Structure 1
Amino acid sequence: MRLSRSPTIQTLIVFCVVYALQSVIRLVSPALMVSLFALSPPVAVRPWTLPLSVYAHINFGHLLSNAIALLFAGLLIERVTTRFRFHAYFLTVGIVAGVAQIWIGGLFSMTTPAVLGASGAVFGLFGYLIAGNPVADAVLGKLRLSRRAQIAVVFGLALLATLMTASPGVALIAHFTGFAVGLIAGRLHILRVETQATSNDRAVQ
């Protein structure tokens, strides 16, 4: 696959473009930068922050860490899906994780919650990668877990992944939400695209 056609590389380019815009606006007014890019309640007042917050980052270190994680998971997942599905999934999971962060975080915080960054969406990729691979299919197929047990496994794995990244200032709820959504999406294989050969084989059978 040419790099220009890789949805992972395309997402990295969007990261860089948005961060460049943030940097320019930050020089003029740091408060304006937060207002334009950070997701915070009420969402209806600044709806453009729903997608922008997914690709925005607070500093270069934040951008770099998410970029490395995106490369690791994204380059693997994009091999079994289309560019449209990849981008739609990444953006949707990122928005859901961000909204969960400000909504649930707002219930337990006296200050107005705000979030920006792609970590929720990236965790969604890792969750998908763990749950949607052939090894997971084989293991879970043999276990034949009940629905309650499957929910418990999703909750437990998401909690473990969240605790492993716990540190001050980290959007833990977004991490948990993104990873949990990714696990569920992986079990449903929502990104998988059947090849023409597979479709023809099934038709012959």
Structure 2
Amino acid sequence: MSRVSASGSPIVETLVVFLLVAVAQTIAGLVGAMVGLFVLTPPVTENPWTIVTSVYAHDNLGHLFSNSVALVLFGWPVARATSRARFHAFFVTTGALAGVSQIWVAGAVFGVNAAVLGASGAVFALLGYLLAANPIAEGLASSVQLPQWFVWLVFLAMAAVVTVATASPRAALIAHFVGFLLGLVAGRARLLKVDDRRPAESVVA
């Protein structure tokens, strides 16, 4: 198959993981093990696997559906421009960092014993990457030399605006903010860019 069609498969794979985890959550809920397996709670060292599993778990069908739609919309263009391995690594890493940030800030700053689950942090990271790494943004960055502090200020402002604009009851706003900011930084650095100068044998017909 062509590189374009192959590069879309990480989206399908992630959606399949969403569904499998949803089934596992249902089963775990019947035996009272859902929180210990899929919900990230403080201290994160108590159930460290939830740093990863919470990224793919969701609170309900509406939560699952909204994140799935956002994954397809924001993730598909990113997946086309990178490899399967890089996409999955980026998704789980940004999602995990966003979730841990939500737990830490909620506890350290607001004194709240928070719990978090869902792919929103990773999805916001995909959106941030898409905005920072698209050709228009690249053209502006190459034609206008801006101080690094100003770039960071713009990134922080964008993350704040997007987070507030998409806020909803029970939303993990810190996770959204951190995920989007990580995506912007990664997009600016073209972290997921794959060298197009590949050997011919790497393309499967």
* Structural mapping, 1:63-142, within 5 Å: 63-142=64-143
State the TM-score, normalizing by the size of structure 2.
0.91
> What does residue 202 of structure 1 align with?
none
Residue 41 of structure 1, CA deviation: 1.3
The Cα offsets for residues 49-79 of structure 1, whole Å up to 9 and x where unpaired, read as 0110000001010000000000011111111
Residue 175 of structure 1, CA deviation: 0.2
The Cα offsets for residues 124-175 of structure 1, whole Å up to 9 and x where unpaired, read as 0000000001110111222211011001010010001100111220000000
**Is 2:30 the partner of 1:27?**
yes
The answer to whether the Cα contact below 8 Å between 2:7 and 2:84 also exists between their aligned partners in 1 is no
Unmatched segments (≥5 aa) in structure 1: 200-205
> What does residue 149 of structure 2 align with?
148
**Is 2:203 the partner of 1:181?**
no
Give runs of ≥4 in structure 1 deviating > 6 Å.
none
Secondary structure of the 1:95 match is helix
Secondary structure of the 1:39 match is coil
C-alpha separation between the residues in 1 aligned to 2:13 and 2:178? 24
C-alpha separation between the residues in 2 aligned to 1:147 and 1:53? 34
Corresponding residue to 1:12 among 3, 15, 32 = 15
Classify 1:80/1:2 alpha carbon distance in 2 versus 1 (closer, same or farther; 3 Å): closer
Classify 1:5/1:132 alpha carbon distance in 2 versus 1 (closer, same or farther; 3 Å): closer
Secondary structure of the 1:44 match is coil
> Which residue identity lines up with residue 37 of structure 2 in the other structure?
L
C-alpha separation between the residues in 2 aligned to 1:12 and 1:143? 39
The answer to whether the Cα contact below 8 Å between 2:40 and 2:115 also exists between their aligned partners in 1 is yes
RMSD (Å), alpha carbons: 1.9
C-alpha separation between the residues in 1 aligned to 2:34 and 2:139? 47
The answer to whether the Cα contact below 8 Å between 1:3 and 1:9 also exists between their aligned partners in 2 is no
The Cα offsets for residues 1-43 of structure 1, whole Å up to 9 and x where unpaired, read as 55797001100000000011101222332xx212211111111
- Count matched residues: 197
The answer to whether the Cα contact below 8 Å between 2:7 and 2:80 also exists between their aligned partners in 1 is no
Classify 1:4/1:193 alpha carbon distance in 2 versus 1 (closer, same or farther; 3 Å): closer
